[in-house]
């Protein structure tokens, strides 16, 4: 995008320093404490200890993720701001479709992600001008065209590790002794909600463990890549019903 093209040639450290100096308190570091997020937090800690760290608590996270939040607080001194879904929306969704609705159809899985992740983060990000993510192009086809810095929905989205490989991330973690999420040691390569994530098998893509029951190459919750077409319309119908019930 015009205005940010030159940043494509910058290192991750250079981009983070630019982002922190440019946006300050208006910059959110959004993370679920996976390896890429931990690399970014470690790099950022060398620039500033007063960054704003945002994490989502969907209500279905593995306990190990909560432990990682405590580790980040203790090691870096960051104040971690936890974002929760709207309780009335979750209650209405579960009442209508059940606690484990995500196994029933892709549309209902997207609805669960919308209520528990997408909508809460959107509400939080209204208070920020820019946000940092740990996305990488090598994570899958849906992220292959990712830019390091781009304007998305009126806000600057910053992905300092866009051109990093998985091996580069792991090398940084080792070199700097960065804490890692315990589930990586059990064969996980991408970590989300507990019921929706499993370890990957040998030879599987990095995000194969996310929503593994779906026969679809697009493994996204909707925060970074929005669904489209029939599934999007199905979600809209279900979401409208949930919001009506939540606001009744």
Q: Is 221 among the catalytic positions?
A: yes
Placement of tokens 């899985």 in the chain: 109
> Which 3 state secondary structure label does DSSP give 9?
helix
Kindly tell me the number of DSSP H helices and DSSP E strands found in the chain. Answer: 8, 6
Catalytic residue among 112, 193, 196, 221: 221
Q: How far apart are CA 160 and CA 139, in angstroms?
A: 14
- Angle in degrees, CA 8, 11, 16, rounded to 5: 95
- Phi and psi based region of residue 230 (left: phi greater than 0; alpha: psi -120 to 50; beta: remaining): alpha
> Which 3 state secondary structure label does DSSP give 225?
coil
| Active-site amino acid positions | 221
């Amino acid at each position: 995008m015009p205005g940010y093209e030159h940043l494509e040639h910058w290192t991750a450290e250079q981009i983070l320093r630019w982002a922190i100096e440019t946006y300050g308190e208006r910059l959110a570091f959004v993370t679920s404490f996976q390896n890429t997020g931990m690399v970014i937090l470690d790099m950022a800690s060398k620039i500033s200890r007063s960054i704003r760290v945002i994490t989502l608590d969907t209500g279905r996270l593995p306990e190990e993720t909560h432990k990682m939040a405590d580790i980040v607080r203790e090691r870096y001194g960051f104040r971690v701001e936890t974002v929760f879904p709207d309780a009335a929306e979750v209650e209405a969704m579960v009442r209508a479709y059940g606690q484990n609705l995500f196994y029933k159809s892709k549309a209902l899985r997207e609805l669960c992600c919308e209520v528990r992740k997408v909508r809460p983060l959107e509400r939080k990000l209204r208070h920020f001008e820019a946000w940092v993510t740990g996305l990488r192009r090598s994570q899958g086809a849906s992220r292959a065209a990712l830019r390091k810095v781009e304007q998305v929905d009126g806000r600057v989205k910053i992905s300092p590790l866009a051109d990093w490989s998985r091996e580069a991330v792991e090398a940084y973690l080792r070199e700097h002794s960065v804490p890692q999420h315990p589930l990586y040691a059990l064969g996980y390569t991408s970590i989300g909600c507990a019921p929706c994530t499993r370890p990957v098998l040998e030879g599987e893509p990095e995000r194969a463990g996310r929503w593994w029951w779906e026969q679809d190459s697009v493994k996204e919750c909707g925060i970074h890549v929005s669904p489209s077409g029939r599934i999007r319309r199905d979600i809209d119908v279900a979401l409208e019903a949930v919001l009506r019930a939540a606001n009744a």
